[in-house]
């Protein structure tokens, strides 16, 4: 735990340099900038009214800048029993914020996290979201932030050393989505975010397009659903229509390629899907 605190402190110390050098993604100071944007978005309820985001929102910050505030804005005041399908919420600054802080949270991911918060009463399960082996109808909320685009693909790059998880099955998000539906109580809420734009499979992730997103909805078969779209522009993130990001492309820092002219730090388009079981 101390190692992480030292790392965060070092990043915070470099934040002024990060700003002075043009806020280029993934440099020292970037994590501090990203966390500040996310916390401001959640605490300022940037996503609550469905209107335009503030000018310059999430400038040169990756898609978590919109995904996390969107998720928090859609959670019930008292989420009840909640599954984080993919461990995207396993961060202290998120877990301490309402309404997530009031949830009875279970986190499921492929391999043990380097930092866990069991002392906060959070349960951790390590396994495959395609076959959770959990009882049906036990959760009020299932949240999956930028996770299903990795299911069935090469998860050995970042998430596990298990060579059996070096796969190439792009449609294997389907059994996971079916599991989400099975795990929810009737009337339960499923919240999913994915990178959206020009369809493509890129080793460890894929980008969803309109047809693939519709497939998610069809597989889940909700009693109601809604989708919100966000686009990254050179001046930051903004709400948009699906057609505005139909050709959006993902910048993958792991390829070693330099940032584009817009300095996108990851996805340039995001779809945020809410479904009621």
Taking only the tens place, the pLDDT of each residue in 155-210 is 999 999 999 999 999 999 999 999 999 999 999 999 999 999 999 999 999 999 99
> Does position 110 have pLDDT exceeding 90, yes or no?
yes
How would residue 214 be classed by pLDDT, with cut points 50, 70 and 90?
Answer: very high
Give yes or no for a contact between 239 and 230, defined as CB atoms under 8 angstroms apart.
yes
pLDDT at 126 over 80: yes
Residue 2 confidence (pLDDT): 79
Tokens linked to 194: 């994915």
Return all residues near 31 (Cβ < 8 A) that are at least 6 apart. Answer: 8, 11
- Here the tokens at position 121 are 């009463």
Higher-confidence position of 4 and 19 = 19
186 in Cβ contact with 136 (< 8 Å): no
Distance CA 5, CA 264 (A): 27
DSSP designation for 49: T
Output phi, psi for 195, to 5 deg: -65, 140
pTM: 0.97
Does residue 114 surpass a pLDDT of 90? Answer: no
Task: Find the mean pLDDT for residues 249-277.
Answer: 97
Comparing CA positions, the residue from 68, 82, 33, 62 lying closest to residue 190 is 82
**How confident is the model at residue 50, as a pLDDT?**
86
Task: Classify domain 61-276 at the CATH topology level.
Answer: Rossmann fold (3.40.50)
| N-term to C-term CA, the chain | 38
The rounded mean pLDDT for the chain is 96
Domain boundaries, the chain: 61-276
Asked if pLDDT for residue 1 goes beyond 80, the answer is no
Mean pLDDT, rounded, for 99-119: 94
State the Rg of the chain over Cα: 18
Continuous segment of H or E residues that includes residue 218: helix 210-220
Summarised one tens digit per residue, pLDDT across range 47-69 is 988 889 999 999 999 999 999 99
Mention every residue, 6+ apart, whose C-beta is less than 8 A from residue 149.
Answer: 173, 194, 195, 205, 206, 207, 208
């Amino acid at each position: 735990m101390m190692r992480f605190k030292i790392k965060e402190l070092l990043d915070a110390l470099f934040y002024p340099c990060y700003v002075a050098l043009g806020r280029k993604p993934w440099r020292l100071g970037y994590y501090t900038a990203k966390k500040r944007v996310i916390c401001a978005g959640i605490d300022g309820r940037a996503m609550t009214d469905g209107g335009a985001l503030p000018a310059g929102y999430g400038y040169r910050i990756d898609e978590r800048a919109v995904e996390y505030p969107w998720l928090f804005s859609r959670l019930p005041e008292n989420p009840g029993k909640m599954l984080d399908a993919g461990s995207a919420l396993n961060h202290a600054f998120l877990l301490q914020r309402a309404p997530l802080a009031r949830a009875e949270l279970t986190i499921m991911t492929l391999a043990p996290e380097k930092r866990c918060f069991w002392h906060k009463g959070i349960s951790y399960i390590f396994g495959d979201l395609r076959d959770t082996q959990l009882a049906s109808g036990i959760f009020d909320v299932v949240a999956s932030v930028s996770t299903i685009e990795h299911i069935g693909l090469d998860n050995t790059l970042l998430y596990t050393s298990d060579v059996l998880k070096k796969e190439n099955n792009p449609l294997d998000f389907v059994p996971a989505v079916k599991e989400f539906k099975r795990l929810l109580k009737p009337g339960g809420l499923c919240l999913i975010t994915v990178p959206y734009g020009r369809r493509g499979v890129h080793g460890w992730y894929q980008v969803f397009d309109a047809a693939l997103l519709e497939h998610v909805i069809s597989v889940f078969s909700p009693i109601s659903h809604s989708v919100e779209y966000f686009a990254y522009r050179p001046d930051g993130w903004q709400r948009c229509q699906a057609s505005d990001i139909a050709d959006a492309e993902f910048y993958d820092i792991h390829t070693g390629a330099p940032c584009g002219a817009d300095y996108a730090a990851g996805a340039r388009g995001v779809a945020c899907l809410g479904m009621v079981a």
